[in-house]
Structure 1
Amino acid sequence: MHHITFISTIHKEIGKCNANELFKIMDKLNPEVIFLEAIDETYSEYDKFLHSNYGVYHKKLEIAAIQKYNHNSSFQYVPVCAIGLSDAFQKKIQLVTKHRELQILIDNFNYRAAEKGFYFLNSSECIRLQEEMRVLESQILNNNEMDKMVKEDIEAYEKPMIENIHSYCKNNHFSAAIFMCGSAHRKSIIEKVNQMKSDIKWSFELP
């Protein structure tokens, strides 16, 4: 049976959320396949060349952890994004983060992530705080067309990730895998996974 552990992450190092700590979790799970929230171009052949020849680690936290894991382990790396996040999403972030009330919530979230690490990012507390931020973002935008568009864009961004994982599982044999994805998607990804019927065994807690 395919067993996948879902790991919520952040994309840049902050305190205990760093490549070394993520590598330790990966090492415990010993995955044969690593699914990542990324497009093919995220980890280019040039990036691989820089690391293998000069020891240069990738700026994306998850890939730096993968590079550390690669020193002693053999695995298949599978980027699962069909598209990148939309321009509307980027414009929304630039707009809403100007509001002090939201910035306070973001700073609080980052403080907890830095202090508690990946076990915070994979907790119900993380989901609660992310939901609090999403509600405030919608209030700031007054549920306007941009807010609705971004929600549709995020759905179009997330759904193919789960579909690509399922497609890979149908065509490949493995026992243990991980799927790493940004913590902002945690609640939605868990809901999507639970709604899809499959033989995949999912775990949502860290070892």
Structure 2
Amino acid sequence: MHHITLISTVHEENGKCNSDELCEIIEKISPEVIFLEALENTYSDYDKMRFSSFGVFHKKLEISAIQKYSFNTSFKYIPVLDNGLSDSFEKKYNIVCEKRELQNLIDNFESLAAKHGFKFLNSIDSIKLHEEMRMLERRILNESEIEKVANEDIDAYENSMIRNIYSYCKTNKFNTAIFMCGVAHRKSIIEKIEEFKAQEEIDLSWTIFGE
């Protein structure tokens, strides 16, 4: 049976959201496979050489945690992104982040993440605060074309990650895995997991960390 735990993360260290805390979570689950929201070249051969030869940790929080996990455990690392976020996503956020009201919500979210760490990121409160941000974004963008295109691109971005996980599971055997993905995707990824369960022939057992 393939069992996968979804863990919501951030990509840069922030208070209790750090690689040591994340590594502790990973060690408790003890995955044989680690799926990560990352491109193939995010953790390059050069990065791997710097770590193995000189102990230089990666700047991406999740990869730094994976490197620490590798000290005592062997596992398979699988980056699951086909492409990065599109230009439309950047254009959307350049518009909405100019608004002080949204920046205040972001600052509050980051403060709670720094104080409470991954317990907060993987909570219903985290989802609620992100939904509040999304509602404000929709009011700011007012159903503009850039909002429509950006949302379609994000949907495709998330679907590709889930598809790649299912594709790997069809041809590889393991008991326990984790999927680490940015917290901004938490609600929609949980919804997509349920959709894929109904569509896909292979039966994956999912656990949502924090629930």
TM-score (norm 1): 0.98
2:29 maps to what in 1?
Answer: 29
2:14 maps to what in 1?
Answer: 14
- Partners of 1:113 and 1:73 lie apart in 2 by 28
Q: State the secondary structure of the residue aligned to 1:110.
A: helix
1:120 maps to what in 2?
Answer: 120
After superposition, give the CA deviation of every residue in 1:95-134 in whole Å (9 maximum; x if it has no partner): 2111100000000100110011101111111111111111
2:203 maps to what in 1?
Answer: 199
* Superposed displacement of residue 141, structure 1: 1.2
> Where does the alignment leave 5 or more consecutive residues of structure 1 unmatched?
none
Contact 2:123–2:210 (CA under 8 A) maintained in structure 1 = no
Q: State the secondary structure of the residue aligned to 1:111.
A: helix
- Partners of 1:21 and 1:174 lie apart in 2 by 25
Q: State the secondary structure of the residue aligned to 2:108.
A: helix
CA RMSD after TM alignment? 1.0
* Superposed displacement of residue 83, structure 1: 0.8
- Partners of 1:82 and 1:155 lie apart in 2 by 13
1:171 maps to what in 2?
Answer: 171
* Superposed displacement of residue 206, structure 1: 4.2
Q: 1:81-160 to 2 correspondence within 5 Å?
A: 81-160=81-160
Contact 1:25–1:206 (CA under 8 A) maintained in structure 2 = no
- Partners of 1:111 and 1:29 lie apart in 2 by 27
Q: Which amino acid aligns with 1:202?
A: W
* Superposed displacement of residue 69, structure 1: 0.5
Q: State the secondary structure of the residue aligned to 1:196.
A: helix
TM-score (norm 2): 0.96
Question: Alignment identity in percent?
Answer: 60
Q: Which amino acid aligns with 1:189?
A: I
In structure 2, the CA distance between the partners of 1:19 and 1:45, relative to structure 1 (3 Å rule), is same
> Where does the alignment leave 5 or more consecutive residues of structure 2 unmatched?
none
Q: Which amino acid aligns with 1:67?
A: Q
